Amino acid sequence: MELQGRQVVITGGTGALGIAVVGALLAAGALCHVPYRDEEEAQRFPHRDHSQVSLVALGDLANEAAVTAFFAGLDGLWASIHLAGGFAFAPIAESGAKVLASQLDSNLIATYVCNRAAVAAIRRAGKGGRLVNTAARQALEPRLGAGLTAYTVAKAGVVALTIALAEEVAKDGILVNAIAPSIMDTPANRRSMPKADFSTWPSVAEVAATVLFLASPQNVVTRGAIVPVYGRV
């Protein structure tokens, strides 16, 4: 992928998928800006000492003022990849307004705020760019969201955001897309579902390859797509 020297923001870059995405971007020559919430995240991040990585203590990605200031300080942004989010497995009886608000903040509001700030930064650079969001399989197949309705609603909002924004900024040469993962093969997911057939789950490296393409200059026509990355689940 032709990403040599291109600046890319990766929210959620310290998570399991994020680490794989940052690794793929570094291999492609990108300069990676990785926001994080707390110092423990930063300390365990395996790419923290890489010369092409800039770790940034940003905290809550739904904080519009902080996110706007961060993106405003970037010069020459090419792409912004939004992997950060929250998850709540709870039936509707246990999902009051606070649960929904939390899911909207961590998934939809944070993604919206980051997209808005990234569009402004990419427009300043004047060379077009790429945005990649993270939806979920439940957003495309809402019946699978039984028992996690608040999460499903929030991720459905990310789908709508992605498609609407893709149309709005295409004229600027900014292509906006999203991935829709199913259960990925991560240590945390294996621990929580020890009896599952892990061989059917997509690896984070496989999902990262899709993200890398969508964020790269090689993607010249795909916009407004919500790309399933389900593996064989």
Q: What is the DSSP letter of 102?
A: H
User: Is 203 within a domain?
Assistant: yes
Structural domain range at position 33: 7-229
**Structural domain contains residue 169:** yes
DSSP letter string over 186-209? -HHHHHH-TTS-GGGSPBHHHHHH
Question: Does residue 2 lie within any of the structural domains?
Answer: no
**Cβ pair 173, 201 in contact under 8 A:** no
Q: Is residue 218 part of a domain?
A: yes
The pLDDT, as a whole number, for residue 1 is 66
Q: Give the model's pLDDT for residue 120.
A: 98
Amino acid sitting at position 233: V
Q: Is residue 1 in some structural domain?
A: no
Give the pLDDT confidence score for residue 231 in this predicted structure. 82
User: How do residues 44-61 score in pLDDT, each as one tens digit?
Assistant: 999 999 999 999 999 999
Amino acid code (one letter) for 116: R
**How many structural domains are present in the chain?**
1
What is the domain-level CATH number for residue 173?
Answer: 3.40.50.720
Q: The pTM is what? A: 0.97
Q: What does the alpha-carbon distance between residue 96 and residue 94 come to, in Å, rounded to a whole number?
A: 6
For residue range 14-27, what is the model confidence (pLDDT) as tens digits?
999 999 999 999 99
pLDDT at 22: 98
Residue 229 has pLDDT above 70, yes or no: yes
Q: Is 201 part of a structural domain of the chain? A: yes
The answer, yes or no, to whether residue 109 has pLDDT greater than 90, is yes
Based on its alpha-carbon atoms, the radius of gyration of the chain, rounded to whole angstroms, reads 17
For residue 23, being part of any structural domain is answered with yes
